[in-house]
């Protein structure tokens, strides 16, 4: 990684920490981040010529694999007509129609340029629609670097949040309430005390920012029922789960209809795209129809729309999600079996093309407290050993992993073979 090391050293003089997003600095796992030069299918190639089997997938959008021919062709074709107009185009309506066909809850929507922008806008809209100020989020769920959502859990279900980042006013953070993920009783207790003031619940229907944590049976429907009872809105943050776990995203998988949905990742196919949408009566509160303001020069950018539309077209094979799920199951079951054979305790989760693994004695990890009890040192050593073997997992125990349609059985077998060696090395350190 000689060239990557030099590039990282140079970048530290240009960017804070040498990176443009914190986790890229490898602060959790140590070492030097590889600098990638190109991607093809399930593989990434760094500046030193090393090939990696990639399970990050640009943090989710590369569901078809890197440089998919249909997506590249669509981008090239759109680029030949111009890069940006800041005005309406037909293709933004084409992508919106494809999204609504898959997610009927999104009766009206607005395109934006990132998932963070989508969640920020959805929260503003929820507050404007309900004339309430407070928001409920869940411990361990991340919804972008929005001031209202960079908040710690506090000491209990009825505790107001405290800022989780310098620069977030305490007065604003106090409007965000937090409870543990998967704790429906805590939600109900909080609404009993604060329900008349809560504009919305925002939740990752499958949490992907504390590793991967699935909802327990009845949790999402319980949120739906609680919001209905108290006149609050339910926001599904499907930036990560959107089109990743089911043709209808997590709301289709679990058959729970939110009032608002935020999307990103897959609907851009690798380019910067987000969207928020939902019930028509709520969305009509957005300017120019209503008093809630939101705007963006690059919203509906034609190049990004072309990339997203081509990606969604690539998901229409009836067996697509069955095969994606089978790949994730093959990977996680292989990792767990290899860990157990080496005497290493491991828990795994997977749904659709998302997966997570935890160095934990627990059979199933269901909340942030259990995530924090996992063995971070073991993860760090495992990550480094796998990276050296040409396997690229997310450089943090608090991130989800992704498989793509491009991952073959051979790729999975090579990954499990490398993991067996890494687990044996781990076993010798304890």
Q: What is the 3-state secondary structure (H, E, C) of 142-199?
A: CCCCCHHHCECCCCCCCCECCECCCCCCHHHHCCEEEEECCCHHHHHHHHHHHHHHEE
Residue 11 pLDDT: 97
Residues 211/394, Cβ–Cβ less than 8 Å:
no
Task: Note the pLDDT of residue 430.
Answer: 66
* C-beta of residue 232 within 8 angstroms of C-beta of residue 198: yes
The one catalytic residue among 43, 52, 55, 142: 142
User: What pLDDT sits at residue 55?
Assistant: 98
Indicate the pLDDT class of residue 161, thresholds 50, 70 and 90. very low
pLDDT at residue 410 is higher than 60: yes
Task: Tell me, yes or no, if 265 is annotated catalytic.
Answer: yes
Contact, 202 vs 116, CB < 8 A?
no
The answer to whether 10 is a known catalytic residue is: no
Q: What is the pLDDT of residue 128?
A: 98
Mean pLDDT of 282-307: 97
- What digits encode the pLDDT tens for the residues 233-274? 999 999 999 999 999 999 999 999 999 999 999 999 999 999
What is the reported pLDDT for 158?
31
Regarding pTM above 0.75, the answer is: yes
Residues of the chain with CATH 3.90.1150.10: 2-63+318-427
pLDDT band at 164 (very low <50, low <70, confident <90, very high): low
Which is more confidently placed, 171 or 312?
312
pLDDT at 159: 33
155: pLDDT strictly greater than 50: no
- Half-sphere exposure in the Cβ direction for 376 (13 Å, CA): 14
Give me the pLDDT at residue 153, please: 34
User: Considering the domain 69-313 in this protein, what is its CATH number?
Assistant: 3.40.640.10
Average pLDDT, the chain: 94
Q: 150-159, 189-198, 219-228, 370-379: which has the minimum mean pLDDT?
A: 150-159
Is residue 308 predicted with pLDDT exceeding 90? yes
Is 157's pLDDT higher than 80? no
Q: Out of 163-172, 242-251, 283-292, 303-312, which region has the weakest mean confidence (pLDDT)?
A: 163-172
- The yes-or-no verdict on residue 295 having pLDDT over 80 is yes
Catalytic residue among 46, 54, 183, 237: 237
CA dihedral (52, 264, 370, 329) positive or negative? negative
| Mean pLDDT of all residues in 275-299 | 97
**Candidate list 43, 54, 265, 321, residue with the active-site label:** 265
Helix residue ranges per DSSP H, 350-404 = 368-372, 376-388
pLDDT over 80 at 303, yes or no: yes
Chain segment 356-395, per-residue pLDDT in tens:
999 999 989 999 899 989 999 999 999 999 999 999 999 9
Residue 236 bridge partners (DSSP) = 203, 261
Q: What is the pLDDT of residue 150?
A: 76
pLDDT for the residue numbered 156: 33
CATH number of 2-63+318-427, picked from 3.90.1150.10, 3.30.2130.10, 1.10.101.10, 3.30.479.30:
3.90.1150.10
Q: pLDDT (tens digit, 9 = 90+) per residue, 111-139?
A: 999 999 999 999 999 999 999 999 999 99
Q: How wide is the angle at C-alpha 122 spanned by C-alphas 325 and 242, nearest 5°?
A: 10
Ranges in the chain annotated CATH 3.40.640.10: 69-313
């Amino acid at each position: 990684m000689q060239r990557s090391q030099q590039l990282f050293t140079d970048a530290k003089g240009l960017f804070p920490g040498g990176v443009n997003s914190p986790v890229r600095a490898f602060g959790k796992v140590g070492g030097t981040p590889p600098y990638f030069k190109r991607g093809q299918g399930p593989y990434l190639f760094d500046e030193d010529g090393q090939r990696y089997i990639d399970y990050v997938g640009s943090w989710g959008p590369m569901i078809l694999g890197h440089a998919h021919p249909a997506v590249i062709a669509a981008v090239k074709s759109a680029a030949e007509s111009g890069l940006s107009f800041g005005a309406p185009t037909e293709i933004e309506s084409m992508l919106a129609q494809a999204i609504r066909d898959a997610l009927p809850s999104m009766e009206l929507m607005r395109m934006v340029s990132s998932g963070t922008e989508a969640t920020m806008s959805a929260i503003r809209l929820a507050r404007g629609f309900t004339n309430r100020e407070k928001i409920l989020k869940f411990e361990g769920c991340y919804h972008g670097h929005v001031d209202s959502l960079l908040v710690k859990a506090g000491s209990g279900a009825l505790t107001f949040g405290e800022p989780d980042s310098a620069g977030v006013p305490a007065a604003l953070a106090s409007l965000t309430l937090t409870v543990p993920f998967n704790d429906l009783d805590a939600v109900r207790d909080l609404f009993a005390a604060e329900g008349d003031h809560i504009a919305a619940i925002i939740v990752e229907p499958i949490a992907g920012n504390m590793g991967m944590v699935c909802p327990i049976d009845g949790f999402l429907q319980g949120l739906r029922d609680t919001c209905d009872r108290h006149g609050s809105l339910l926001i599904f943050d499907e930036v990560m789960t959107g089109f990743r776990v089911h043709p209808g995203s997590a709301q289709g998988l679990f058959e729970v209809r939110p009032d608002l949905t935020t999307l990103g990742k897959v609907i851009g196919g690798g380019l910067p795209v987000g969207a928020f949408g939902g019930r028509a009566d709520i969305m009509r509160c957005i300017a120019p129809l209503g008093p809630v303001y939101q705007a963006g020069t690059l919203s509906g950018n034609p190049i990004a729309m072309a990339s997203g539309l081509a990606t969604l077209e690539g998901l229409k094979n009836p067996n697509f999600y069955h095969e994606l799920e089978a790949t994730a199951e093959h990977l996680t079951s292989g990792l767990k079996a290899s860990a157990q054979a080496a005497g290493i305790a491991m828990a795994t989760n997977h749904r659709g093309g998302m997966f997570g693994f935890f160095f934990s004695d627990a059979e199933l990890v269901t909340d942030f407290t259990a995530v924090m009890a996992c063995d971070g040192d073991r993860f760090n050593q495992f990550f480094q050993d796998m990276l050296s073997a040409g396997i690229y997992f997310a450089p943090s125990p608090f991130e989800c992993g992704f498989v793509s349609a491009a991952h073959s059985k051979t790729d999975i077998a090579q990954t499990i073979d490398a993991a067996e060696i890494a687990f044996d090395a781990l076993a010798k350190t304890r």
